Amino acid sequence: MRAIINGKILLEDQWIEDGYLMFTDKIVAFGPMTNYEVEMDKLGLTERDVEVIEARGRLVGPGFVDIHVHGAGGSDTMDGTQEAIETLSSTIFQSGVTRFLATTMTMPSDSIKRALAIVKARMENPSTQKTARLLGVHLEGPFINVAKKGAQNGNYVVPPNFELIKPYLDIIKIITIAPENDANFDFIEKMKAYPNVKLSIGHTNSDFETAMSAFENGVTHITHCFNAMPPLHHREPGVIGALLSEPFTAELIADEIHVHKGLFKGLSRCVDRDKLVLITDSMRAGGLADGHYDLGGQDVIVKDGSCRLKDGTLAGSVLTMNKAVQNFAKNTDLPLYEIFNLASLNPAKVIGVDGQYGSLNIGKVADINILDEQFNVIQTFADGI
């Protein structure tokens, strides 16, 4: 048994100012420090039975869940190797991510299949080390609109193709599509038989009516809202207008580069707080120095926290999840526990794993972060390790 003591414990809907959190591989108990000795007696524990971790007033919250991350530490999901996945996992763990979706991009189908096969093999032999755990794949591309491809390679964009993904439906958790490219919504209709796979609107030129129709047919998520889609206009509301009209879940890259920080507060007021999800959209340069990096065969220039192609197109990010939480905290007036939900519980809900992960509820997996007041990660546990 381990016990984190004297911490600010961030729960789903409140925090305990001076509290404890007890765990093995699962969350066992929590409460105010005034109840700690009573809890020990209740569990039949002595001091010798418990490894005590002193939080010293720091934040104690759930491990972060990143459902949109391509790479970090010099590696990328599309490298299609076990080593790349291991590097990605260990790098993002350092910023408090305990669960993630390895995210693909638009490349030749053989490259996508190789990347999916590697993820599948890794999930069949999961890590037991101090590293982030794979929850599956976010397939971002190739089912997108060339006009809104962003930093993806338009030469490999194809209409939604069920046969391409069919062998991997056990590991794919999110598929980004441009619904306007799905003739008669045939693909969307076929995916209704696979409710564990979330369809997401992204890299799209969809108008308001198409986005609303897609929602009515089960496309209930939005990939990095505002980015790679038409802007909100009062006569052409587009995807953002649909987001303001229906209970989509929506990703946000909160690096203050992809989306102006002034929109963070407004978005948190216009979109239900259990529907907004912080992501990093990190590429292989995450955690590394400024310079030139590869993204799907394209040269990306990383400078001062911004990742761009030569023509200025944004090309992913080097954002870390603890920094995303910090940015959202300083630009909104939400309580800290709600902001942590955006990076943990909400993404877990999107892919249907919130019964196990995403918050510090008793019985859930012990994915835990200790952070200081500047949101620097002090210590992270995954499965209590």
Task: Tell me the pTM.
Answer: 0.97
Give the mean model confidence (pLDDT) for residues 45-66. 98
Answer whether 104's CB lies under 8 Å from 115's CB.
yes
Q: Which CATH class is domain 2-57?
A: mainly beta
Strands 306-308 and 219-222: unpaired
pLDDT band with cut points at 50, 70 and 90 for residue 128: confident
Q: What is the CATH number of domain 64-358?
A: 3.20.20.140
| Average pLDDT of the chain, as a whole number | 97
pLDDT digits (tens, 9 = 90+) for 214-224: 999 999 999 99
- State the catalytic residues: 281
DSSP character string of 176-193: EE-GGGSGGGHHHHHHTT
What are the pLDDT digits (tens) for 75-120? 999 999 999 999 999 999 999 999 999 999 999 999 999 999 999 9
Per-domain residue ranges of the chain: 2-57, 64-358
